[in-house]
Amino acid sequence: MTGTKIPFDPETAPCGKKSGGDRLVDDDGYGLVIRDQLFDCGCRRIRHEYHDGSIHLSAIRHDGKRVKDQIQPDHGK
């Protein structure tokens, strides 16, 4: 798998605060794509796309609580 780490400008984290951070993207070239947003505040937004086309989305606040986050479009930045 190839991995890329890209910083991003502040945006609304799952906790509701504006925070920057790093976007991590891993791709195996066969359909598996893992995109994680790691916010400086400690929050995390996760998007996993699997070989069969299914997608798993989740968001975790910096205190470890999973949230029903309004998933925003992933611009692949």
Global pTM?
0.77
Residue 7's φ and ψ, nearest 5 degrees, are: -70, 150
pLDDT one-digit tens code per residue, 20-69: 999 999 988 888 999 999 999 999 999 999 989 899 999 999 999 998 74
According to the model, what pLDDT value does residue 77 have?
46
- Contact between 74 and 35 (Cβ < 8 Å): yes
Sheet holding 55-60, edge to edge: 2-12, 18-27, 33-39, 44-49, 55-60, 66-67
Domain ranges of the chain: 4-72
Q: Where are the beta strands (DSSP E) in the chain?
A: 2-12, 18-27, 33-39, 44-49, 55-60, 66-67
